[in-house]
Amino acid sequence: MFYLGEYDEETAKEIKEYLDKAGLKVETRSCLVMEDESTYTIKEKLSALKELKEVDCEPYERYLSALRNVLPQATTENFEDLFLKSVDPLMMEKRDKILALNENPESFSSEDQEALKFGSDEWMENTLGVTRARTFAARVLFQNDITIGEDVGAKLDDPIIEITVDPDDYKTIPDKIKCEIDFYLDKSITIFVDEFTTPLASDLADEFWDEYPLEAQRLKFLGLLIEKLAASPTSRKMDFAEFAKECNLTLEDGGSVLNVYGDDVAEDLARVLEKGGVVKWKGDKLKWKSNN
């Protein structure tokens, strides 16, 4: 069987449906897999973080300045809005205008609407910026025992800050770096395809090529190799050493050259043909059962 790949349940189901429809013989096997994610953090006073040359404290000081400005008048209901507007007033003003535009587009001129358009890169950067600011604020409030609506006192003069870091950025790993490793168990579906049916990959739907181009290419080119090997030579016989040489395929398309190398698995390919009823393999000889 040809290993196509490992997928989540929904994706595996969709791929199998495409392959079944084209007539390819498919087997699936499920198993549990475990993935890990490591997070490195440093929790220190701001003054101590400033002593680490690898840490750029400018963004944190900007967030802290915003916290100091808004906490005296903030409530649990308006804190986030006040904080984000203090961090990036232009961005939040643009956000408010976009919300107003969605509710009442007639109130904006075409020039105003054009000015509010986001490029994908700008939108992503702004989204990440908001997420970073929210996460930082939540950590500072928690680490320094600050409750919104209560007197902050001197808690933000030199607050405890917990930041995420990359240990590879440090020549000498600080003692205060903490590593947290999370392991996630999930179910994975492995898809195998009967090699002898891969020539049917030519019947795969265009949608499969659009959604799974790598899988489609692998099945197509293996199918072309199987078709080549299944074709009977004139003598209907071949030495195994010669057959092994035939287990490679070169295709040219304009200025592109595609090579499929199968000589290292010539024995496996011979078994595929034998199981498919195409050849009889005995000793060092292969004999094709009929002219194809």
- Do 257 and 162 lie in one domain? The reply is no
Q: Are 128 and 12 in contact (CB under 8 A)?
A: no
Residue ranges of the chain with per-residue pLDDT less than 50: none
Predicted local confidence at residue 102, as pLDDT: 63
**In the listed set 169, 201, 222, which residue is the last one of a domain according to the structure?**
169
- Do 63 and 157 lie in one domain? The reply is yes
The two tokens of residue 138 are 């939540």
**In the listed set 169, 203, 222, which residue is the last one of a domain according to the structure?**
169
The two tokens of residue 113 are 């609407």
- Do 85 and 143 lie in one domain? The reply is yes
Predicted local confidence at residue 34, as pLDDT: 94
Distances (CA, A) of 283 to 18, 238, 270, 280: 39, 11, 12, 10
Q: Are 5 and 190 in contact (CB under 8 A)?
A: yes
41, part of any domain: no
Distance CA 289, CA 9 (A): 41
Predicted local confidence at residue 120, as pLDDT: 53
42, part of any domain: no
* Domain range for 116: 55-169
Distance CA 249, CA 156 (A): 69
Predicted local confidence at residue 88, as pLDDT: 81
Predicted local confidence at residue 104, as pLDDT: 67
- Do 220 and 270 lie in one domain? The reply is no
Helix locations, the chain, DSSP H: 9-22, 46-50, 58-70, 79-87, 89-103, 110-115, 120-143, 206-211, 213-230, 240-246, 266-275
Predicted local confidence at residue 159, as pLDDT: 93
The domain tally of the chain equals: 3
Distances (CA, A) of 35 to 4, 41, 153, 286: 20, 20, 44, 45
Closest CA to 146 of 86, 71, 73: 71
50, part of any domain: no
**In the listed set 169, 190, 210, which residue is the last one of a domain according to the structure?**
169
Can you give the pTM of this predicted structure? 0.65
107, part of any domain: yes
Distance CA 16, CA 21 (A): 8
The two tokens of residue 178 are 């903490």
